[in-house]
Structure 1
Amino acid sequence: MSGNQNNISELALELGWAMSEMKSSLRQKIQACINEYEPDLSVELVEILGLLSRNDGINQQEIGNKVSKDKSSITYLINSLVKRDLVERVADKNDRRNKQIFLTSKGKKIIEIVYPWALELYRKAAGDFDEDEINKALLLVKKMTANLE
């Protein structure tokens, strides 16, 4: 590997660490906000509620793909949300084996309270970056992820 390629590898490694550190910091801050409102909810559960608030009725597989969780983990998380009466499973009209997941009114209420907190934290993280800078960074990370597939 040439010196330049080695340098690119090192920079990509640092970018990965920086993204992981940012995600960890955001998760801690979001969890602290959630704890003020609903102490027994985790960031993972709220993440699924937030996803459903934008895509109500998607199935468990789609949820798992979006939040990068395997089938057994997503089943456990959805079961936990169902027990708390935050989501409900509804059999798909076209394929009864396929269950669509919908927010309940209680789930919608939690998102109405928690989602603005999360958005504010992301706005704070974005600082004085403009939309174009964030779009370029997003494109870069998506390209790097695609390169691994």
Structure 2
Amino acid sequence: MSAKQDKISELALELGLAMGEMKSRLRQKIQSRINEYDPDLSFELIEILGLLSRNDGINQQEIGCKVSKDKSSITYLINALVKRELVERTENKNDRRNKQIFLTTKGKETVDTIYPWALELYGKAADNISETDISNALLLVKKMTSNLE
């Protein structure tokens, strides 16, 4: 690799580490607020509820891909959400083996309660950063992610 490519690789590494640190801090702060609301809910469960609030009716495999969890972990997490009556599994009309996951009314209420807390924290993270800078960063991260596929 050239010296320029080495520098770009080092910067990409630093960006990845910084994004990981930001996610970790946000996760800790969100989990702290969740614990006040319901100590039995984890960040992973809330992450799935949030995903379903934007993509209700997707299947377990799609959920696993979007939250970067393996099949057994997703099954465990979905089972926990079903047990708490926050989501329900429904057979897909075209493929009975394929279960779609939907938020229940209780699940929607939970999302409606917790989502503003998450937005508040993301707003704090974005304080004094322009919309353009955030949009450019988002495009950059999406491009870097697609380069890995």
Q: How does 1:26-105 map to 2 (within 5 A)?
A: 26-105=26-105
- CA distances 1:20-75 after superposition (whole Å, capped 9, x unpaired): 00000000000001001010110010010011111111111111111111111111
2:21 maps to what in 1? 21
- Asked if 1:123 is matched to 2:127, the reply is no
1:145 maps to what in 2? 145
Task: State the Cα distance separating 1:2 from its structure 2 match.
Answer: 2.1
Q: CA separation in 2, counterparts of 1:116 and 1:69?
A: 25
Query: Comparing 5-14 with 26-35, which one deviates more in the overlay?
Result: 5-14
Which TM-score applies when normalising by structure 2? 0.96
1:134 maps to what in 2? 134
Number of positions where the alignment pairs a residue of Structure 1 with one of Structure 2:
149
Task: State the Cα distance separating 1:130 from its structure 2 match.
Answer: 2.1
SS at match of 1:116: helix
- CA distances 1:66-114 after superposition (whole Å, capped 9, x unpaired): 1111111111110111111111101111111111111111111111110
Structure 1 unmatched runs, 5+: none
SS at match of 2:100: strand
Task: State the Cα distance separating 1:131 from its structure 2 match.
Answer: 2.0
Structure 2 unmatched runs, 5+: none
Which TM-score applies when normalising by structure 1? 0.96
Task: State the Cα distance separating 1:148 from its structure 2 match.
Answer: 1.6
Q: CA separation in 2, counterparts of 1:111 and 1:94?
A: 29
